[in-house]
Amino acid sequence: MSSDQRPNIVFILADDLGWADLSVYGQADYQTPHLDALAAQGVRFTQAYANSAVCSATRFALITGRYQYRLRGGLEEPLVRQAHVHGLPPEHPTLPSLLQDAGYDTALVGKWHLGSLPHFGPLKSGYGHFFGNYGGAIDYFTHKPGVGEAVPRDLYEGEVPVERVGYYTQLLADEAVDWINGKSGRRDASKPFLLSLHFTAPHWPWVGPEDEEISRSLQDLFHYDGGNLATYARMVRSLDQAVGQVLEALREQGLERNTIVVFTSDNGGERFSKTWPFTGQKTELLEGGIRVPTLLRWPARIAPQVSSQVAVSMDWLPTLLAAAGVAPDADHAPDGDNLLPVLEGRAPQYARTLFWRYKAQEQRAVRAGAFKYLKINDNEFLFDVEDDARERANLRHRHPEVFESLKRQWEAWNAQFLPITEEVFTHGVTPDIQADRYAPQKPRREL
């Protein structure tokens, strides 16, 4: 593939966006016209998953194309207290480093959350330009990771702290547009590019673009005493407008046709999200915690379609590398699949077997074809998630052979990866985890 034929890539990642938070996926209380248009122009996935029910673990899988449990940092769910010790090793091949080695210009605008300075960071893992936050969440106006004057801002350009005024979602959109437009010569127009645009929206704190006064009065960044559906709607609409701004920049630069645009979320929705028809939310391996809205547009090669192909975060590295004509690293073979043949219609859709684990409530899950094995504490289930999207009819006694087979497959899969120890569990506990949400109970009866 010649350099002038290689596609540009814009990978847009939302944070804690629920399955039905976009109107194209079922949200009726507000509209997301820019993302709806993106869906109409490209592929709308109906069975796309995140690699984890929380953010940093999924980001390890996304950037490496491999199960996050291969790396110590990927065991921290999410990576919070140990970010200075257990991050993404700079020597590990990544999507941006492999593309950069192949001649791509690379940039990350937004959230990193894969380890903190001085040992870890975007510029150490393949990105040539970075503007954003290193940690998991910051206030939308003060850009602080916590409250109080002693807490520094988590806003950087490269590895240098910076100060900007404005609502963070809009700042990220403006920075992405400036980079696409080549402002100040930061993008090499002679090269194809990868732009990772990783928003923090609609992650807490619950602050919309008109809520600067609320933002500056917060006593707790987690903001358990505030937020509502109306504020959340404003946050998602702001995200939609920001995406529209970036898509318009691609159009104005004449880059629209041969630019792959991907939009997805790092995990399922949080407390104000709409996840219908699924149950569960972030931190849970029920469908609502791991099924995510996912869109792809590439006018040059992929026709508009609705795809029921099962996909997962770690598929994006092999898929995007294949689109760019770049081979994965031979010593770090992807666990994800290249979906390009299916999306281009050169191969039929196929069944997948995917695995998850999450330390809180000792959760385990396997998706194999239509069946899903799920364990939460001492409760075990078998669901047909294609027929029973709400995971209500426990089929473990109706299909005992499938139930036992998936349990064994999970054990064999799990044995390949780093174990979750008590030390890992202690470091990773956050207020997101409701430890007593699932008390042991009798298995549900079949319906």
Burial class from Cβ neighbours inside 10 Å (0-12, 13-18, 19+) for residue 425 reads middle
Who's near 53: CB < 8 A, 6+ residues apart?
A: 77, 267, 268, 282, 283, 284, 285, 289, 290, 356, 358, 363
Residues β-bridged to residue 265: 14
- Catalytic: 84? no
Residue 86 annotated in active site = no
| Beta carbons within 10 angstroms of residue 379's beta carbon | 17
Give CA torsion, residues 157, 103, 322, 94, to 10 deg. -40
Distance CA 133, CA 140 (A): 11
Q: Which of 34, 92, 113, 143 is catalytic?
A: 113
42 to 190, 202, 233, 304, 305: CA distances (angstroms): 27, 23, 24, 4, 6
The active-site residue out of 55, 86, 143, 198 is: 55
Contact status, residue 119 vs residue 84, Cβ threshold 8 Å: yes
Q: What three-state secondary structure class fits 113?
A: coil
Residue 157: how many other CB atoms lie within 10 Å: 13
Distance, in Å, from the CA atom of 328 to the CA atom of 94, rounded to the nearest integer, reads 9
Structure-token match 């950037």, residue found: 63
What DSSP string describes 215-270? HHH-S-TT-TT---HHHHHHHHHHHHHHHHHHHHHHHHTT-STTEEEEEEESS---
- Quote the tokens at residue 124: 């150490």
What is the spatial distance between Cα 56 and Cα 114, in angstroms, rounded to a whole number? 6
Angle at which helices 229-252 and 168-180 pack, to 10 degrees? 10
Strand 363-368 vs strand 371-376: parallel, antiparallel, or unpaired?
antiparallel
Task: Write down the number of H helices and E strands in the chain.
Answer: 11, 16
Q: Which residues are catalytic?
A: 55, 113
